[in-house]
Amino acid sequence: MRKILSSIIICCISTVIYAQSFDQERIALAKFIERMYNNSPFEGCRIVDDYDNSYLLSIVELDKSKYKTASVMNRVAQVKSQRNAGEFFNGTQSYSEITIRTPKSKEKGGAEMSEVYEIIRANSTGFVQQLALLSSFINNNGLIIFIFYKKVN
């Protein structure tokens, strides 16, 4: 009975320790990338080598004032990061177009209100999956920086 109980406790402790070490690696990587970005800002994709692994980074800058909700902004960042990774790996051709509509509002007494639509079209030969959000922060210009990453073999 003691052997079974001790083996269960050891399994639980080893699982907790492994889960914490993965989180610590991810936090260390996020801090490293933020320092690297603050020293020389860039947007797009890069391959970064760690001691044991290589990572594909996709960095996206977005202006918070252009998006109504955080979920819309997160989705746009995800789509743009996948587009960047597709261009980096497969030579995907993508086109981005911004449309500004100014309909007259009856509620505001006929005043024009602007609505901004961003349309992203892609012609790709492949698709890059498994990009995960590593971190997001606000840079010196007030833009929100999203860092997506994927482990590369």
Q: What is the pTM of this model?
A: 0.66
66-92 pLDDT, tens digit per residue, is 888 888 888 888 888 888 888 787 766
Give whole-number Cα distances, 112 to 66, 100, 109, in Å.
17, 12, 9
- Which token pair is 153? 């073999």
Which has the closest alpha carbon to 60: 130, 151, 131, 124? Answer: 131
pLDDT at 145: 94
Res. 61: pLDDT tops 80: yes
Tokens read off for 85: 């990774």
User: Ranked by mean pLDDT, which of 49-58, 93-102, 110-119 comes out on top?
Assistant: 49-58
Highest averaged pLDDT of the listed ranges 26-30, 85-89, 125-129: 26-30
**Higher confidence at residue 78 or residue 12?**
78
| CA dist., res. 57 & res. 49, Å (int) | 10
